[in-house]
Structure formats: structure tokens, C-alpha cells
């Protein structure tokens, strides 16, 4: 590219097109999200996570027979190799689960003799294995970090129900399995978000899929991205009661603090995923007798809209539903990872299929033409 063609710097790459993808589209102006051409509202209403994972990875909705085969492949690969459990057991108790996921995925990569095969077919096999493994890594990784024994995956439960089964050691209530399935679908894919873009950058060096996923997990951990669901729940608990919610938000805004779970780089008039999930916040609140949590969220939403014209993103209702399902807060971002693994791996496949090294430039703002002084003469 000649000097004349250099594109001006945009902080945060805002508005910059960094790739071409057929996986999903965030149509922010219409507050819509589509996966492979299908509206997220239809997928959320009608599909299992497995069906959506098939769609994202294979490019089309499965027939009944294709779905059954895919479900079988996922079930067969749910259990982690012993070496992964050995690694998890050596990690510090009470340590960060996102870091443990990185260690687990890196170990899975070292155990896979096809790790460096970046062909479409090999990548697809790895994507299915990683999708199956991540839920187990999250649930049993959490158990091990907290001094509990892992629970072997259930042989017949669906993906979301099995995740809750491993986490709690018992079969989940149908409503909980349904909500977990829904959040897995809503979290599965979202264009060139920070973690997915990280995966693209790593894959573009022709590094393997496991390396790309390890990097993506790191990017997801931050509170401006996946970490927001945990931070949002901490805030709700700090507020405590609905009567304190408005004053709390106003005080934070006066301090120029960010309220986690609000705002989005793309959506400026609402996040459809949050709208879809919100009805379950209410349902679970009624179910568990925690209408206070629902009310705190309602007030926070009203104040944020009034004061900042900001809408909740998917992390805001996700925090509340996970809390009311009894899920410990440090699991919220790892659960996001267990869903987004589908999007990450679909994007790595896309990157490897039509690769070009991602290597932007920076505008240098340091000094030039300094006179070099040998170390002996520096004061």
C-alpha cells in the first residue's frame, strides 16, 4: 500500500472494517443480530445450542439426522483427557478460572496430534472437540479450583443441561436448563468483537486454533468485554435493595464511572440479546422469590436510559439469571467463553480458509534523530 492510501487512525478501530465474514451480522441500526442469515430471535425461540453450534460451524441448519449425529459427536467428546485434569489439579486453589481455561485449552492443543493442521476439515474437527470440551473445562475446572472432585459428563443430557449437571452434580430443573441453553445461544457469536478479533490475529500468523482460543479467552476476561457480566452482578449486590438503586447509579455516573452491563460499541439503541433474555430475569425472579433483583435492574435501566441514553447489553440480564440459578459469580465470564467457543472457532476456520496476515500499522509519536550516547557516558 502506498503512503497516499494510508487510512487515518481510528481509536479502538471504531467503525473500521477489519475482515469479511459470512458467520454473523450485527445490524446495529435495526437492533438485529443474524447468525448465518437467521434472526437470533428465531434461533433463540426454536433451537437447542447444539443446533445453533451446527449452524455456525457448518454454515447451515442441520436436518434431524445431521443434528443427532452432531449431538452424538459432542457427547462422545465431552470428557477431558486425564492430562488436562492433572494440569487443572496443579493450579492454585481459588485461582482465576479464565486462566485455568487457558491452561486447559493449551493442554488440549498439546495433546492433539493434528493441532497444527489448519485445513478446513481438521479445523472443523477441532472446533467440535473444543465446543464439547469447554463446557466440561468450565464446570469441572471450577470444581477442581474449589477443592471438589470433577463430575463425569452425563451421557444423555443436552449440552446446556449437562453443563449444569457437571457444575452442581445433579440434574437441573427444566427452566434452568432452558435458560442456560438460551444464554449459550445468545453468547455463541457476535462478529468482530475483541476476543474474536484476537483469535483472527493469532490465526492469521498460521498459528493453530488452540493458540487462537487461548488468546481469545484472555481478551474475553477484561471487564469491558466478557468480564462485564461478573462486574454487573457485583454492582447489583452492592446496591442491595431497589430503593438504593437510583442513588447508586447517579453517584457512579457523577464519579464518571462506567456501569458494567450497559452500552455497546455497535448497538446504540439496545441489544436485542438483552431484550430476549430479560423476560427470563422476571420469570426466574418470580420463581425464586427474588423480585428485588428484577426491580434493581429495572431501576438501573431506567436511570441509565434517562441520564446517559444507554441501554443494557446481554451481560446485564445474563448476570441476574445466572445468579438466580445459583451459579457462583466467577463462573459468568467462563460460561460466556463456553458459548463463544463456537464463534471463535468458526472465525478461525474462516481466517485459515482465506488467510492474510493481520498486520496493521501505527503512527509513531516518539522522538526521532536522537544522538546516541554510549552507556559509559550516560549520566
Positions marked active-site: 264, 315
Q: What span, in angstroms and rounded, lies between the C-alpha atoms of 6 and 161?
A: 50
Applying CB under 6 A, the site for ligand COA has a residue count of 16
Vertex 205: Cα angle to 334 and 87 (nearest 5):
40
Sketch the per residue contact string, 289 through 308, with ligand COA: x for CB under 6 A, - otherwise. Answer: -------------------x
Identify which range of 53-61, 137-145, 260-268, 341-349 contacts ligand COA by CB under 6 A. Answer: 260-268
Cα atoms in the 13 Å half-sphere on the side-chain side of 290: 21
Out of 125, 154, 244, 258, point to the residue binding ligand COA (CB under 6 A).
258
- DSSP class of residue 37 equals T
Out of 103, 259, 327, 346, point to the residue binding ligand COA (CB under 6 A).
259
Out of 75, 264, 340, 352, point to the residue binding ligand COA (CB under 6 A).
264
Task: Indicate the burial class of 42 (C-beta count within 10 angstroms; 0-12, 13-18, 19 or more).
Answer: exposed
Please provide residue 32's backbone torsions phi and psi, each rounded to the nearest 5 degrees.
Answer: -125, 155
The interface with ligand COA within residues 71-100 (CB under 6 A) comprises: none
Identify which range of 83-91, 99-107, 258-266, 322-330 contacts ligand COA by CB under 6 A. Answer: 258-266
Sketch the per residue contact string, 213 through 252, with ligand COA: x for CB under 6 A, - otherwise. Answer: -----------xx--x------------------------
**Is there binding between residue 313 and ligand COA (CB under 6 A)?**
yes
**Is there binding between residue 315 and ligand COA (CB under 6 A)?**
yes
Q: Which is nearer to ligand COA, 177 or 299 (CB)?
A: 299
Q: Which is nearer to ligand COA, 245 or 259 (CB)?
A: 259
3-state secondary structure of 156: coil
Q: Which is nearer to ligand COA, 144 or 233 (CB)?
A: 233
Q: Return the number of other C-beta atoms located less than 10 Å from residue 224's C-beta.
A: 14
Q: How far is the CB of 12 from ligand COA (least distance, A)?
A: 6
Q: Which is nearer to ligand COA, 141 or 261 (CB)?
A: 261
Q: Which is nearer to ligand COA, 313 or 351 (CB)?
A: 313
- Residues 6+ away with beta carbon under 8 Å from 245: 239, 295, 296, 299, 300, 303
Q: Which is nearer to ligand COA, 172 or 226 (CB)?
A: 226
**Is there binding between residue 268 and ligand COA (CB under 6 A)?**
no
**Is there binding between residue 32 and ligand COA (CB under 6 A)?**
no
Q: How far is the CB of 193 from ligand COA (least distance, A)?
A: 8
Nearest to 326 by CA among 259, 233, 241: 233
Nearest to 159 by CA among 59, 53, 66: 53
109 and 210 Cβ atoms separated by less than 8 Å: yes
**Is there binding between residue 282 and ligand COA (CB under 6 A)?**
no
C-alpha cell at 280: 427470563
Q: Which is nearer to ligand COA, 95 or 270 (CB)?
A: 270
Q: What span, in angstroms and rounded, lies between the C-alpha atoms of 283 and 167?
A: 22
Q: Return the number of other C-beta atoms located less than 10 Å from residue 265's C-beta.
A: 16
**Is there binding between residue 260 and ligand COA (CB under 6 A)?**
yes
Element (H, E) at 27: strand 24-27
**Is there binding between residue 287 and ligand COA (CB under 6 A)?**
no
Q: How far is the CB of 343 from ligand COA (least distance, A)?
A: 13
- Ranked by CB distance to ligand COA, the top (closest) residue is 263
- Residues 6+ away with beta carbon under 8 Å from 281: 293, 294, 297, 317, 320, 321, 324
Q: Return the number of other C-beta atoms located less than 10 Å from residue 252's C-beta.
A: 16
3-state secondary structure of 368: coil
Alpha helix locations (H) across 225-271?
228-239, 242-254
Q: Which is nearer to ligand COA, 154 or 265 (CB)?
A: 265
Out of 263, 317, 334, 343, point to the residue binding ligand COA (CB under 6 A).
263
Element (H, E) at 7: none
- The binding site for ligand COA (CB under 6 A) comprises 12, 224-225, 228, 258-265, 308, 310, 313, 315
Amino acid at each position: 500500500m502506498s503512503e497516499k492510501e494510508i487510512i487515518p487512525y481510528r481509536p479502538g478501530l471504531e467503525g473500521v472494517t477489519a475482515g469479511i465474514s459470512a458467520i454473523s451480522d450485527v445490524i446495529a441500526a435495526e437492533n438485529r443480530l443474524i447468525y448465518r442469515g437467521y434472526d437470533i430471535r428465531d434461533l433463540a425461540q426454536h433451537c437447542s445450542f447444539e443446533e445453533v453450534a451446527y449452524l455456525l460451524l457448518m454454515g447451515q441448519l442441520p436436518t434431524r439426522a445431521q443434528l443427532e449425529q452432531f449431538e452424538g459427536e459432542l457427547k462422545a467428546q465431552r470428557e477431558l483427557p486425564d492430562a488436562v485434569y492433572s494440569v487443572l489439579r496443579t493450579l492454585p486453589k481459588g485461582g482465576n478460572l479464565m486462566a485455568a481455561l487457558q491452561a486447559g485449552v493449551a493442554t488440549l492443543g498439546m495433546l492433539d496430534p493434528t493441532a497444527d493442521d489448519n485445513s478446513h476439515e481438521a479445523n472443523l474437527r477441532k472446533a467440535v472437540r473444543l465446543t464439547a470440551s469447554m463446557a466440561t473445562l468450565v464446570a469441572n475446572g471450577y470444581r477442581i479450583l474449589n477443592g471438589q472432585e470433577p463430575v463425569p459428563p452425563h451421557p444423555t443430557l443436552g449440552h446446556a443441561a449437562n453443563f449444569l449437571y457437571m457444575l452442581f452434580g445433579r440434574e437441573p430443573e427444566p427452566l434452568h436448563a432452558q435458560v442456560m441453553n438460551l444464554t449459550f445461544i445468545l453468547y455463541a457469536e457476535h462478529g468482530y468483537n475483541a476476543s474474536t478479533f484476537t483469535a483472527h490475529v493469532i490465526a492469521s500468523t498460521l498459528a493453530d486454533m488452540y493458540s487462537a482460543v487461548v488468546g481469545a479467552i484472555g481478551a474475553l476476561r477484561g471487564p469491558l468485554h466478557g468480564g462485564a457480566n461478573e462486574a454487573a452482578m457485583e454492582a447489583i449486590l452492592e446496591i442491595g435493595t431497589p430503593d438504593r438503586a437510583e442513588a447508586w447509579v447517579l453517584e457512579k455516573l457523577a464519579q464518571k464511572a462506567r456501569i458494567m452491563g450497559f452500552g455497546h460499541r455497535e448497538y446504540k439503541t439496545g441489544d436485542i440479546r438483552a431484550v430476549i433474555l430479560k423476560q427470563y430475569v422476571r420469570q426466574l425472579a418470580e420463581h425464586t422469590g427474588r423480585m428485588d433483583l428484577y426491580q434493581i435492574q429495572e431501576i438501573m435501566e431506567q436511570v441509565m436510559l434517562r441520564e446517559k441514553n444507554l441501554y443494557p447489553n446481554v451481560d446485564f440480564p445474563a448476570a441476574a439469571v445466572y445468579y438466580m440459578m445459583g451459579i457462583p459469580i466467577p463462573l459468568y465470564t467462563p460460561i460466556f467463553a463456553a458459548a463463544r467457543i463456537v464463534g471463535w472457532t468458526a472465525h478461525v476456520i474462516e481466517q485459515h480458509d482465506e488467510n492474510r496476515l493481520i498486520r496493521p500499522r501505527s503512527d509513531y509519536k516518539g522522538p526521532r534523530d536522537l544522538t546516541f550516547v554510549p552507556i559509559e557516558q550516560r549520566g
